[in-house]
Amino acid sequence: MNYTIYNPTTGSIEEAVSFNDQETAELNLAGKTYISGLYNNIDYYVDNGQAVAKGPDPSTNNLHYQFDYADKSWQFIADYTADNKRYQRNELLAAVDRVNPVRYATLTDQQQTELAIYRQALLDVPQQVNFPTAVTWPAKPQWL
């Protein structure tokens, strides 16, 4: 005997459970809202007492979506995506900032200028028009 316990207000699945007999099931399901069958909260929600597939999570390429139980749809989470893009940017900045003073002194004037331009372009990534959904990453100097 398989059951899925869910939140009747949102339709979000809380737990999938199995019992060997009806008496045990009734005892453990008392006061809970449930449907027959085993469904997981990653792929399903419950609407009008029926399990409904959410559809595939559209999160890709560091774009984060979350399932909205009120709208019954995937919603883009801009703050989470922006944080991920800033993390990527900070990793690239760290590589630039690791150029030690001794090595920096051995760079040509042109290389020092390229490094400064690249670093500033990385700092400017969050100001891009389509940030965070479409980021144009600056080209790293080939010698770096």
138 close to 122: Cβ distance less than 8 angstroms: yes
**pTM for the whole structure:** 0.63
What is the residue-level pLDDT of the chain in tens, covering all 144 positions?
999 999 999 999 999 999 999 999 999 999 999 999 999 999 999 999 999 999 999 987 678 899 999 999 999 998 888 998 999 999 999 988 888 877 888 899 999 999 999 999 999 999 999 999 889 999 999 988
Residues 126 and 105 reside in one and the same domain:
yes
Nearest to 43 by CA among 32, 29, 31, 55: 55
Let me know whether 48 and 100 are in one domain.
Answer: no
**Domain count along the chain:** 2
Same domain, 73 and 131: yes
User: Do 15 and 47 fall within a single domain?
Assistant: yes
Query: Omega before 132 cis (within 30°)?
Result: yes
Nearest in space to 138 (alpha carbons), one of 121, 120, 117: 121
Q: Same domain, yes or no, for 69 and 139?
A: yes
pLDDT for position 62: 72
| Domain boundaries, position 136 | 57-144
Do 131 and 77 lie in one domain? The reply is yes
Q: Determine the Cα–Cα distance for residues 124 and 89; give it in Å rounded to an integer.
A: 10
3-state secondary structure of 100: coil
